[in-house]
Amino acid sequence: MSLEDQTLAALDAFNRHDFDALLPMFEDEAVLDLPDGIRVIGHASFRDTLAAYVLRHGISISDHVVMIDKAGFRVAVECTLNGSDRRDADGGDAGDEGPYALPAVIVFEREEALFSRLSLYAGTRP
């Protein structure tokens, strides 16, 4: 599978919130970096942390542009991060609830056939 096809498949699984389909695309010791500074390593932590973050904020990706480096090790996906803050569901401040769209970049890294890192960078919510 080409790196672009692999990236598009990962984005599709991400948008469907199908973490069971997403996880096999990553090495066992893959690294996940999230915008709030959380970094986890390994399949179990990767899946649980990403699922909690995505589902808590109702996140999906749209308007993406895939850019691949010449060496084929990194992919940057410029996109829009769509979500709705669900802090009110956890008993937090409900003042920030509602839909939003933020500029974001997702970086995938791979050395072999599987991704070794996913880093999500997002603009701060207004």
Closest CA to 80 of 31, 11, 32: 11
- Across the chain, mean pLDDT equals 89
Write out pLDDT tens, residues 63-81.
999 999 999 999 999 999 9
Number of structural domains in the chain: 1
Is residue 13 over pLDDT 50?
A: yes
Q: Is the pTM for the entire model greater than 0.85?
A: yes
pLDDT attached to residue 57 = 87
Which structural domain, as residue segments, surrounds residue 37?
3-122
CATH of the domain at 32: 3.10.450.50
Which residue carries 């991060």 as its tokens? 81
Element of type H or E holding 12 = helix 3-15
Is residue 50 over pLDDT 80?
A: yes
